[in-house]
Amino acid sequence: MLISISATQFAKGDRVIARIDKDEWYAGTLTKVSRDGKKVTFESNDGEEFHIDGEDLEHIKHISVTGKKSKYSDADAKKLIAKKVDKEKEPVKAKEPTKVTKPKFTIPYAIGEQVRVYFDDGVKGKSVVGDIDAENGLVGVWRGRGNLIWLSLKNVSKLDKELIPKVKSNFKEGDRVIAKFPDGLEGPTVVAAIAEGKVGVWRGRGNIVWLDPKNVKPK
């Protein structure tokens, strides 16, 4: 069945209801619309396809998205059409401004800043801030290669505020040394930190081993 309208009234993908017979309406989607808007192809929800043009275009009405029901009586179709019109008349509600929640904690550090740290396992030294959680008052600092450790504010301090006592040492962080480990193995490594009379050196990926200075010598 082939069912004058402006080219801008309908568009491909529109959800519509169309009167195909005198008292029968079908809900579905427009799958094609001609450039002049005078011919459309309509596919009902149950998959039946209709080509509509001419005066019958007056019997196509836009509706809101509905369920999978396809066939409607004349009375039910008019209710759907009226519902669409009433919805369009509803005033548009203004968007409420987004509430900005202030952080619960003030974090006095910046990502990338070097700080003094006290880890939960008792290891002390220097690290770099990798992330910040102001909501929970936590500072993420790097430990080893790629390991981000979250510490509370009390376990982090500025470099100009001593968290640990200064220790005299012949080594400094980054020095290349030869270390003798507790298991008797000896080999080259790099100093990771100095704390409380001990020299922390890297062993493996992200592992710091604390040694007596007598077991560490310049490379």
CB neighbours of residue 163 within 10 Å: 18
At 77-136, the pLDDT tens digits run: 777 777 765 555 556 566 677 666 666 788 899 888 888 898 888 788 888 888 999 888
Q: How far is CA 77 from the centre of its chain?
A: 43
Alpha helices in 4-155 (DSSP H): 74-89
Calpha distance 200→172 (Å, rounded): 10
CATH of span 15-83 = 2.30.30
Query: Per the structure block, which two tokens stand in for 79?
Result: 């209710």
User: Token pair 């270390």 is at which residue?
Assistant: 179
For residues 41-51, average pLDDT: 84
Q: Specify the amino acid at residue 16.
A: V
- Global pTM value: 0.33
Pair 211, 196: CB distance under 8 Å: no
CATH of span 176-218 = 2.30.30
Do domains 15-83 and 176-218 share one topology? The answer is yes
Residue 139 has pLDDT above 90, yes or no: yes
Pair 105, 134: CB distance under 8 Å: yes
Calpha distance 147→198 (Å, rounded): 22
Task: DSSP for 123-156, please give it.
Answer: -EEEEEEEEEETTTTEEEEE-SSS-EEEEEGGGE
Residue 4 has pLDDT above 50, yes or no: no
Domain boundaries, the chain: 15-83, 176-218
Q: Specify the amino acid at residue 17.
A: I
